[in-house]
Amino acid sequence: MGGTFDPIHHGHLVAASEVASVFKLDEVIFVPTGEPWQKAKNKVSAAEHRYLMTVIATAANPQFTVSRVDIDRPGPTFTIDTLRDLREMRPDAELFFITGADALAQIMSWKDSDELWELAHFVGVTRPGHVLDDMGRSDVSLLEVPAMAISSTDCRQRVGAQNPVWYLVPDGVVQYIAKYGLYMDPATDHDAGTVPVTSRTE
C-alpha cells in the first residue's frame, strides 16, 4: 500500500487489514512516498518523519512491514518505479497494490499508467466521500472496507487547531507528532523539529 502517510491513520490500517484478509495476502508492505509529486511539496513532512510514523503504526501487526524503496529513491515518486523495485526484491511474489477510491480515480494521470497493470493487481477500496470505479478493467478489484471518515489532512488540521487526534491515528503516532511538534502551525511547512536519522535499508 503506497501513501504519503502524513500522518498514517486508522483509515489506512483498516483498509490494509481488510484487503489482506479478503485476498489472503501473506504480507502488506506500506510504502511511504519520497516526493509525492501530485501534492504541494512544501506541504509534505520530511520523509523520515512519515516513514517512522508508519513503522510505529504497523509495529504491532506481524503481517505489516514498511519499505523505504520510495523514500530512498531520489526524485519524484512514481508507482511504476515502486512496483519495479518491489518485483526485483521479491521476484516470486504476486503483487497487489492497494489504493483508495480517490487515488484510483487519478491513476490515469500517473506516470506510465498503461504499464502499471502488468506489474500488480490493483485493489481499490471504498473511502467515505469518494466514488469507487474500476474503470471497466478486469485487473482492478473493488472492495468495500469498513468506512473510516478519516484523512491525513483532517488530522493535520486538528493538530494545528489543538484538537485531539487520539483514536484517529495509533497512540504511538499521537505521541510522535507531539514529540517532534509536527503540524503545529498549519500556515507553514510540516517539517518541524529535528528529523531523526534512520539507517538506509529496505
Ligand X SMILES: Nc1ncnc2c1ncn2[C@@H]1O[C@H](COP(=O)(O)OP(=O)(O)OP(=O)(O)O)[C@@H](O)[C@H]1O
Interaction partner, residue 38 (ligand X, ligand NCN, none; CB < 5-8 Å by kind): ligand NCN
Cβ atoms 83, 107 nearer than 8 A: no
Question: Between residues 36 and 170, which has the closer beta carbon with respect to ligand NCN?
Answer: 36
Return the residue of 45, 54, 100, 120 that touches ligand X, per CB under 6 A: 100
The nearest distance, CB 152 to ligand NCN, in angstroms, is 8
Q: Measured in whole angstroms, how far is the alpha carbon of residue 41 from the centre of its chain?
A: 16
Q: Which stretch binds ligand X (CB under 6 A): 10-18, 77-85, 109-117, 183-191?
A: 10-18
Q: How far apart are CA 197 and CA 11, in angstroms?
A: 27
Residue 39 binding ligand NCN, by CB under 6 A: yes
Residue 67 binding ligand NCN, by CB under 6 A: no
Burial group, residue 171, by CB count within 10 angstroms (0-12, 13-18, 19+): exposed
Q: Which stretch binds ligand NCN (CB under 6 A): 73-81, 132-140, 155-163, 175-183?
A: 73-81
Q: How far is CA 124 from CA 97, 107, 186, in A?
A: 8, 11, 30
Residue 153 binding ligand X, by CB under 6 A: yes
Q: How far is CA 54 from CA 4, 45, 80, 82, 167, in A?
A: 10, 13, 21, 17, 16
Binding site for ligand X (CB under 6 A): 3-6, 11-12, 15, 99-100, 102-103, 125, 127, 148, 150-153
